[in-house]
């Protein structure tokens, strides 16, 4: 057994580690993702504070705020039907850190639970769900009074942003 010792990390290595962490930390929804609202299906880019979003956990919830930003990050492509018969109905691209609610054998196999919120990159299988190279994405984050699970692009997606 080796003793635990502090070690100096070179600045180059530290900045690479920080970049990798920042890259995987990006979450939210791409601006062209369809969101289920009380006014019907709307693109994430068209949703504004005060809109009523349909959530899995609390029914209709009033949106407090919206953050929009452009980032260069890895993204995950989830092909249509890869998480269930019609989940998602169409191919969808999400930032790697966006949390998806899974409620099938994956939750049991990976987490020993009936359901789990997991980052999109943890679902990659290289064929139906794959990490794409870095790309510029227009990301939208929703701000609620507490975390919620919303219906986005045919998936159940966690929104952890709070005010």
The domain limits of the chain are 26-159
Residue 15's pLDDT is what? 46
Interval 28-45 mean pLDDT: 97
Tens digit of each residue's pLDDT (9 = 90 or more) over 53-105: 999 999 999 999 999 999 999 999 999 999 888 889 899 999 999 999 999 88
Query: Which CATH superfamily hosts domain 26-159?
Result: Hedgehog/Intein (Hint) domain (2.170.16.10)
Residue 25's pLDDT is what? 60
Helix (H) / strand (E) element for 14: namely helix 11-25
C-alpha distances in Å from residue 137, one per residue of 18, 23, 31, 106: 20, 12, 8, 28
């Amino acid at each position: 057994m080796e003793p635990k010792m502090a070690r100096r990390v070179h600045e180059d290595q530290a900045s690479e580690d920080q970049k990798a962490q920042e890259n995987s930390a990006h979450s939210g929804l791409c601006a062209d993702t369809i969101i289920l609202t009380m006014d019907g299906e709307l693109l994430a880019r068209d949703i504004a504070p005060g809109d009523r979003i349909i959530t899995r956990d609390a029914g209709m919830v009033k949106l407090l705020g919206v953050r929009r930003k452009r980032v260069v990050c890895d993204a995950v492509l989830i092909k249509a039907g890869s998480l269930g018969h019609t989940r998602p109905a169409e191919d969808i691209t999400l930032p790697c850190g966006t949390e998806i609610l899974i409620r099938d054998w994956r939750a049991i196999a990976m987490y020993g639970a009936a359901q789990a919120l997991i980052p999109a990159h943890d679902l990659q299988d290289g064929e139906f769900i794959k990490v794409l190279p870095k790309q510029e994405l227009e990301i939208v984050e929703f701000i609620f009074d507490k975390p919620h699970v919303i219906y986005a692009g045919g998936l159940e997606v966690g929104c952890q942003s709070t005010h």
